[in-house]
Amino acid sequence: MRTATVPPPRVPRLGRGWYLAAVLSAVLAVGMCLLGWRQADQADRIAAHPVRVEGVVTQLPTGGGTYSSVSYQVGGQPHTAAALPLADGTRLGDAVCLEHAADDAGAVRICGDTYPQPVGVGLARFSVPVAVVLFAVCVLRIWRHRRAVAVRAGQGRLAANLALATEALADGMPAITHGKRSRRKRRVGGRRGQH
């Protein structure tokens, strides 16, 4: 009895980059949402009960990833605010008008601004939709890949079952055919003997 070998169906490979992109886009979307929510929350708390103080510029932003830094005091306690949007031409030691929330001295912004860090809010508004779209594209691609793998696996099982059924039928056919032929030969031989 000869066993028919059915080659396994060829499963398309999906690069790990799709999974990595899905994870990174989800992390980016969540992180930017948290950043935007924190900025909005601080802006609301400052607007509810603003307290004005005077700060001093201790560091200026540079192109090397260094942010601005402004020092100020609240109730005799020193505080530092980073990445505030300073006006053009600001120098070290210049005085800056700040306003902070009455219940949180760390929630501080430049006087007249809406958010402590408007650049972060703008970045969140732009990056969150992009990250969500990228995440959706990656998830759709991964889902299609898994569906194609499932379909091909089902086709492979069907092909294997058909091959086994065909083989079993082919193995049974010679006996049936041989029996019929032998009967015909006997009948023909018998008639020849009678004549």
**Greater model confidence, 169 or 90:** 90
The per-residue pLDDT for range 122-136, each reduced to its tens digit, is 888 899 999 999 999
The pLDDT of 51-80, averaged and rounded, is 90
CA angle, 108 as apex, 102 and 114 as ends, to 5°? Answer: 105
| pLDDT computed for residue 70 by the predictor | 95
pLDDT band at 24 (very low <50, low <70, confident <90, very high): very high
Looking at every residue in the chain, the average pLDDT score rounds to 80
Domain spans of the chain, in order of start: 16-135
Q: Rounded CA gap, 56 and 50, in Å?
A: 19
| Beta strand extents in the chain (DSSP E only) | 50-59, 69-74, 77-82, 95-101, 104-110
d(CA 113, CA 90): 17
Give pLDDT, residue 67. 85
Which pLDDT value is given to residue 1?
A: 47
Which residues, other chains included, contact 94 with Cβ-Cβ below 8 Å and sequence gap of 6+? 56, 57
Q: Are 91 and 57 in contact (CB under 8 A)?
A: yes
- Rounded to an integer, what is the distance from CA 129 to the centroid of its chain? 13
